[in-house]
């Protein structure tokens, strides 16, 4: 596999003739614009073509009236090293997921490493190594924010400071290690937060050997920044307890593909009823026992739109801008200064929906015609989605 680890060096890119522009922003999910200008991997203009400076573009892409959306952000993955997962002994899963529209992944812990160290020196070393490795290598161009240690008993505040000083910004799922009591987790989550490290807590029944049941009371007491897989990974808390978490906590509500689908719908509806849709973020929780899902994020969007009856343009925000803001990422939104990470989509061929959004709300996933990361085209027509009705074309460029 080619090393596509370089960041955007795309010069000036013009994307024109956009039929539908999804912003990733819940407050204005659809933009009245048909042109995006990118320079060196960052968005410099979003407007009508007549109002944009198109001169000097190295690359011009005709979107051919298809939809452009921010690249999807998978808020919950379990990478190990490179583009290989020992959980399913599968190579190329990250590149394959990029073909499903995912341009950024956030690690919830490198838990599937065979012989994963559980001593404090070892777990810190693994986190720092994973952070460095994925900072230097991007499978398929995907930005993998990795290095998420699983906390263990005996850790002190100095350990969290050491991790932060080394560049670690995440904690793996609280509850996958020996720290399972709410009061213990609360202290370590507070230390992590003090040093700029964001935390996620496991929610629901055990998923792997060594993990345990994390109930609503532990989640509330620990007060982690993200309620990880609130719909279970795999096994969910009772629906009433999930809705109680949505109401009593102010933290991010993470809904995943590898969880209970009925409870996923209930959690999304509860957040809407509580008027806090900005808290909803989406992930796959893969690789896992149920495998790798290259189209898992698109399937989550379709699931919540069609069965929870949420407009598709809002659900796309859950998978993009909401996550970018909660995870402090410079992507996920179509606005000046953000990374030029885009998914070009159209309704799948022969879907019953007359438009892309209607097709998603009917339960179909869209077809992807192109994925761009940091202003660089990483794939054309997806090898994994159904074929799109129309696909964009590069009309000029190197």
CATH of the domain at 370: 2.30.40.10
For 72, the token pair is: 């999807």
Task: Report yes or no on 40 lying in a domain.
Answer: yes
- Do 168 and 206 have their domain in common? yes
Can you point out the beta strands (E) in the chain? 12-16, 20-22, 30-31, 35-39, 42-47, 59-62, 67-70, 72-77, 84-85, 90-91, 102-107, 143-145, 200-201, 226-227, 252-256, 280-283, 342-346, 367-373, 376-379, 393-396
- Look at residue 121 and tell me if it is in a domain: yes
Q: Which of 268, 294, 320 is the last residue of a domain?
A: 294
Mean local confidence (pLDDT), 296-311: 98
User: What is the model's pLDDT at position 180?
Assistant: 93
pLDDT tier, 96 (very low <50, low <70, confident <90, very high otherwise): very high
Query: Which residue in the block uniquely carries the two structure tokens 């039929």?
Result: 19
Q: Give 6's pLDDT tier (boundaries 50, 70, 90).
A: very low
Higher pLDDT, 210 or 166: 166
Mean pLDDT of the chain: 95
How far from chain centre, in Å, is Cα 133? 19
Q: Does 284 fall in a domain?
A: yes
Q: Which of 274, 294, 314 is the last residue of a domain?
A: 294
Q: Residue 323 has which token pair?
A: 């996550």
Select from 302, 294, 212 the least CA-distant residue to 261: 302
CA distance 208 to 396: 50
127 and 190 assigned to the same domain: yes
Q: pLDDT tens, 253-279? A: 999 999 999 999 999 999 999 999 999
Domain boundary at 294, 325, 346, which?
A: 294
Q: Provide the percentage of residues in the chain whose pLDDT is more than 90.
A: 93
Q: What are phi and psi of 194, to 5 degrees?
A: -60, -35
Q: Can you read off the two tokens belonging to residue 69?
A: 């959306």
Task: Check whether residue 40 and residue 114 sit in a common domain.
Answer: no
Q: Identify the band that residue 7 occupies on the pLDDT scale cut at 50, 70 and 90.
A: very low
How would you class 132 by CB atoms within 10 Å of its CB: exposed for 0-12, middle for 13-18, buried for 19 or more? Answer: middle
Q: What is the pTM of this model?
A: 0.96
- Model confidence at 207, pLDDT cuts 50, 70, 90, reads confident
Confidence of residue 304 (pLDDT cuts 50, 70, 90): very high
**159: containing domain:** 72-294
Do both 26 and 89 map to the same domain? no
Residue in the block written with tokens 């070393």: 125
Summarize the confidence of residues 151-167 as an average pLDDT. 98
Does 364 reside within a domain?
yes
Residues 35 and 130 in one domain: no
Percent of the chain with pLDDT over 70: 96
* pLDDT at res. 9: 52
Once rounded to an integer, what is the mean pLDDT over residues 368-384?
97
Q: In what order do the strands lie in the sheet with 393-396?
A: 42-47, 35-39, 12-16, 59-62, 393-396
Q: How confident is the model at residue 210 (pLDDT cuts 50, 70, 90)?
A: low
What's the average model confidence in pLDDT over 376-395? 96
Question: How many domains in the chain?
Answer: 2
Q: Identify whether the C-beta of residue 398 lies closer than 8 Å to the C-beta of residue 59.
A: yes
> 110 and 157 share a domain?
yes
DSSP 67: E
**Is residue 324 in some structural domain?**
no
**396 band by pLDDT with thresholds 50, 70 and 90:** confident
Same domain, 189 and 282: yes
3-state secondary structure of 358: helix
Determine the length of the chain: 398
Q: What is the pLDDT of residue 169?
A: 98
Q: What is the mean pLDDT of residues 110-138?
A: 97
My answer on whether 277 and 152 are in the same domain is: yes
Mean pLDDT of 378-393: 97
For the segment 161-200, what is each residue's pLDDT rounded down to a tens digit?
A: 999 999 999 999 999 999 999 999 999 999 999 999 999 9
Distances (CA, A) of 380 to 81, 369, 370, 387: 26, 6, 4, 11
Identify the bridge partners of residue 85 per DSSP, sorted by sequence position. 90
Residue in the block written with tokens 């609280």: 174
Q: Are residues 199 and 210 in the same domain?
A: yes
pLDDT tens, residue by residue, 292-302 = 999 999 999 99
The Cα–Cα gap between 36 and 21 comes to 10
Residue 377 maps to a domain: yes
Residue that is written with structure tokens 């997806």 in the block: 382
pLDDT band at 212 (very low <50, low <70, confident <90, very high): confident
Report d(CA 83, CA 205) in Å as an integer.
Answer: 28
161 part of a folded domain:
yes
The pLDDT score that the predictor gives to residue 118 is 97
CA separation for the pair 257, 284 (Å, rounded) = 4
Do 354 and 343 sit in the same domain of this protein? yes
397 pLDDT higher than 70: no
Q: What is the CATH number of the domain that holds 99?
A: 3.20.20.140
Quick check: is 53 in a domain?
A: yes
3-state secondary structure of 64: coil
Per-residue pLDDT at 119 exceeds 60: yes
Shared-domain flag, residues 220 and 367: no
Residues 272, 375: one domain?
Answer: no
């Amino acid at each position: 596999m080619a090393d596509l680890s370089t960041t955007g060096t795309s010069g000036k890119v013009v994307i024109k003739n956009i039929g539908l522009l999804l912003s990733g922003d819940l407050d204005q999910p659809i933009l009245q614009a048909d042109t995006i200008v990118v320079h060196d991997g960052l968005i410099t203009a979003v407007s009508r073509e007549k109002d944009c400076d198109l001169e000097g573009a190295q690359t011009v892409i005709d979107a051919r009236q298809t939809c452009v959306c921010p690249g999807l952000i998978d808020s919950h993955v379990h990478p190990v090293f490179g583009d290989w997962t020992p959980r399913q002994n599968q190579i190329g899963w990250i590149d394959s997921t990029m073909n499903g529209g995912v341009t950024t992944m956030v690690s919830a812990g490198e838990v599937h490493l065979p012989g994963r160290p559980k001593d404090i020196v070892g777990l810190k070393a693994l986190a720092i190594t994973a952070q460095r490795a994925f900072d230097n290598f991007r499978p398929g161009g995907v930005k993998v924010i990795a290095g998420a240690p699983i906390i263990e008993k005996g850790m002190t505040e100095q350990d969290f400071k050491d991790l932060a000083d080394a560049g670690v910004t995440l904690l793996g799922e609280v509850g996958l290690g020996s720290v399972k009591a709410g009061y213990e987790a609360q202290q370590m989550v507070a230390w992590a937060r003090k040093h700029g490290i964001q935390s996620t807590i496991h929610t629901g029944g055990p998923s792997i050997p060594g993990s345990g049941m994390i109930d609503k009371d532990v989640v509330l007491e620990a007060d982690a920044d993200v309620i990880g897989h609130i719909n279970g990974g795999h096994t969910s808390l009772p629906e009433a307890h999930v809705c109680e978490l949505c109401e009593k906590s102010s933290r991010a509500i993470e809904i995943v593909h590898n969880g209970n689908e009925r409870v996923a719908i209930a959690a999304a509806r509860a957040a809407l009823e509580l008027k806090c849709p900005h808290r909803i973020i989406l992930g796959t929780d893969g690789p896992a026992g149920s495998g790798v899902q290259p189209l898992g994020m698109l399937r989550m969007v379709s699931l919540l739109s069609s069965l929870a009856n949420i407009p598709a343009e809002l659900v796309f925000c859950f998978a993009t801008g909401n996550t970018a803001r909660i995870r402090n990422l410079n992507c996920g939104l179509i606005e000046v200064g953000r990374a030029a990470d885009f998914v070009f989509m159209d309704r799948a061929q022969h879907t019953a929906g007359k438009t892309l959004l209607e097709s998603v709300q009917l339960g179909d996933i869209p077809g992807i015609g192109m994925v761009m990361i940091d202003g660089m085209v990483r794939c054309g027509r997806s090898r994994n989605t159904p074929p799109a009705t129309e696909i964009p074309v590069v009309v000029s460029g190197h």
